[in-house]
Amino acid sequence: MNDPISLRDQLVLLLIAKSGINNIFQLVMKFDRCDFPGEVGKNLSILLDRQLIYVSAIDAFNHPTKYAPTEKGEALVRSDINPQAIIEHVKKMNNPDFMFELVQAIFNSISNSALTN
């Protein structure tokens, strides 16, 4: 049985699955902006190891450039992510304003789409 993934890992998964921020450059830029150094490579490794994301594009040097959620990752986002816990985690970052607004917009979008389905 796998241990639960950290709130930071959940946040990275949420961004990949629901925001269109799906490449290493965008992820690093967003996390460096709010919690320097962002070090998202660690989170990506964990998410890949747990088969919650997969590499969806590689560059000419065979390096991953984009990620996408697996079915297992999508299921985790739908049912196991606690929005309030993620928001509290974001508030603890060094410069949380941008990430806080982004995460709130994602959760609002998720709840609005749930209401219309």
DSSP string, 62-94: S-EEEEEE-HHHHHHHHHT--HHHHHHHHHTSS
- What number is the average pLDDT over the span 52-59? 96
- Find the mean pLDDT for residues 31-38: 88
Residue 2 lies in a domain: no
Residue 86: inside a domain: yes
Work out the mean pLDDT of the chain and round it to a whole number.
91
Reported as type and span, the H/E element at residue 52 is none
The domain that holds 72 is classified in CATH as 1.10.10
Query: Is residue 1, in this structure, part of any structural domain at all?
Result: no
Could you tell me if residue 85 is inside a domain? Answer: yes
55 pLDDT exceeds 70? yes
pLDDT tens-digit readout, 17-29: 999 899 989 999 9
Task: Kindly tell me if the per-residue pLDDT of 63 is higher than 90.
Answer: yes
* Structural domains of the chain, count: 1
pLDDT at 111: 82
Smallest CA-to-CA distance from 27 within 40, 42, 13 is with 40
DSSP category for residue 38: -
User: Is residue 9 scored above 70 in pLDDT?
Assistant: yes
Closest CA to 53 of 80, 107, 82, 14: 14
In 3D, which of 67, 61, 59 has the Cα closest to residue 9?
A: 67
The CA distance from 3 to 5, in Å, is 6
Could you tell me the residue range of the domain that residue 71 belongs to? 7-116
Residue 4: asked if its preceding bond is cis (omega within 30°), the reply is no
Lowest mean pLDDT across 18-22, 93-97, 108-112: 108-112
